[in-house]
Amino acid sequence: MQVRRHQSLSGARAVVALWLAGAVVSGCRTPPVDHRPARGTLLVFSDLRGALKPCGCSPDLQRGGVDRIGDYVGVLRTGEPELPLLHAGDLLLDDEGIPAGREGQITRRVEALAEALRIIGVQAATLGPSDLAAGPAWVERSVKTLPLPLVGTNVGAPWSTFLKRSLVLRVDSLRVGVLAALPPAPGVTSPAEALRAEATVLRPQVDVIVALSSLGLRETKRLFRADLGIDVVVAAGQDLKAVVTDEVESAGTARLIQSHIQGSHVGRLELSVTAGAPVSLGWALQAILWDRPRHPDIAAVMKRYDADLEAINLKAAGTLPPLPAGAPSYVGQAKCLECHEQTQAFIAKDRHPLAWETLEKDGKTFDLECVSCHSTGYGQAGGSILGAMKGLVDVQCESCHGPGSRHADDGDTATIRRVVPESVCVTCHNPKHSTQFNYDTYRSRLLVPGHGR
């Protein structure tokens, strides 16, 4: 997006400034003041958190994904080819950061994300708390592949070597200054001072100043209680469960808009600037639902990524911890059914036996971000691990009742867990993947004739 001069508007502003100052312009005809608003539209999405696509584990997580964002933005740009797209919040990582053994997958994921963002066409982005937590060395390496400028206004060295303090975008007939407020981290400075100073520098060159905030809603509101000289702030970094509205609010002298995490929505921001008046805006969030088409080139990027995970993760999976002497191992459901045939009726209706098929349909059976909860005894002594799943795919009896080799030898009830406490369920049914989980209601669905009833 190129920055071009926009004479008429700055001309209008200058006239208004003279008029406000009471200056008498003598000897030349006063040009008429242009009261028509200058308008511009841009798109905003937030907190991709490195995911090419949200996991889809619960119905409310079945939205977003770079493939469908690409389709949506592409369709809009057939009518409005210059429509810019900005990203706020965590771009590369979520709060799990870079777990041991995942370095290879995450490096490859960032590469795929860069390819997808190039195809989508993103004009600017900022970083969020999880990105910053990975440290400047990792982030600098990772962002080298990204096809877009990154903005971070309140940073010192070494972040400032690869983050721009601000940038100016041409948005229809407007020049829009873009700033970004980053949350506290080593090398990050006070956002209030940095934003105010940068806004002062930018103001003469632009019509509107937009700040992308990765501070979350509450901290963003707190920050903007003071007048920072910014017109619009986008509050990213919300919780998964936050009730995100597309109502425009006031935060100090700025207008505040909210956005969803995991790129589940794309917002459309309509700006309208009349010389001498506050910026007026419209904001609408569009959910990116999974019934819309996928951008074919981005779908291909995702398919290559999934295929590459096999080699990357078979190498990274590691080995299981040794089984302590006398401790039970996982034997698999077929063994249990030899004596518990009556649970067959339960299995026939339960969803746990379909957990692996769910990953197969998605091409995700080598994805370390998925397999542990869609299989049995993953990473446990005597359990399963990529490359050695040995009949322990799907969520089987022993996921809930514990490893059962000793019990299966003689049917002794002292060596098996009958009651399955909530703490076992939530190793998988955590708030990030099972948003509706409630122990009592979910447990009651498992209790059928032949299984606990």
Applying the rule CB under 6 A, the residues between 233 and 252 that interact with ligand HEC are none
Q: Is 411 in the site for ligand HEC (CB under 6 A)?
A: yes
Q: By the 8 A CB rule, do 260 and 46 touch? A: yes
Residues 6+ apart with CB under 8 A from 273: 9, 37, 38, 39, 174, 207, 208, 279, 280
Binding residue for ligand HEC, selected from 6, 39, 55, 133, defined by CB under 6 A: 55
* Six token digits for residue 214: 């990765």
Interface with ligand HEC in residues 348-377 (CB under 6 A): 351-352, 354-355, 358-359, 362, 364, 367, 369-370, 372-374
Give kind and range of the element (H or E) at residue 353. Answer: none
Q: Does 56 bind ligand HEC (CB under 6 A)?
A: yes
Minimum CB–partner distance for residue 46 and ligand HEC (Å): 19
Residue 425 as a binder of ligand HEC (CB under 6 A): the answer is yes
Going from the C-alpha of 347 to that of each of 422, 423, 438, the distances in angstroms are 20, 22, 21
334: contact with ligand HEC by CB under 6 A? no
Q: Which of 46, 220, 333, 365 binds ligand HEC (CB under 6 A)?
A: 333
Cα torsion angle, 226, 227, 230, 233, sign: positive
Residue with smaller CB distance to ligand HEC, 192 or 420: 420
What residue spans of 329-437 are helical by DSSP H? 333-339, 344-349, 355-362, 397-401, 405-410, 422-425
Q: Of 312-331, which residues contact ligand HEC (CB under 6 A)? A: 331
Which residue from 91, 228, 233, 416 is in contact with ligand HEC, where contact means CB under 6 A?
Answer: 416
**Counting contacts by CB under 6 A, is residue 340 touching ligand HEC?**
yes
For residues 254 and 224, is the Cβ–Cβ distance under 8 A? Answer: yes
Over its C-alpha atoms, the chain yields an Rg (Å, rounded) of 27
The verdict on 335 binding ligand HEC (CB under 6 A) reads: yes
For residue 219, how many other CB atoms are within 10 A of its CB?
Answer: 17
- Are the beta carbons of 3 and 168 closer than 8 angstroms? yes
What is the maximum span of the chain, computed from C-alpha positions, in angstroms? 108
Nearer to ligand HEC, 226 or 354 (CB): 354
Tell me which residues in 145-164 interact with ligand HEC (CB under 6 A): none
Angle between helices 296-316 and 103-120 (to 10 degrees): 170
Shortest distance in whole angstroms from residue 124 CB to ligand HEC: 27
Give yes or no for residue 338 binding ligand HEC (CB under 6 A): yes
Window of 52-60, 63-71, 196-204, 238-246 that interacts with ligand HEC by CB under 6 A = 52-60
Instruction: Report in angstroms how near the CB of residue 309 gets to ligand HEC at its nearest.
Output: 11
Token reading at 204: 């003469």
Q: Which residues contact ligand HEC by CB under 6 A? A: 55-58, 331, 333, 335-336, 338-340, 343, 347, 351-352, 354-355, 358-359, 362, 364, 367, 369-370, 372-374, 395-401, 404, 407-408, 411, 413, 416, 418-420, 424-425, 427-430, 433-434, 436-437, 442-443, 445-447, 451-452
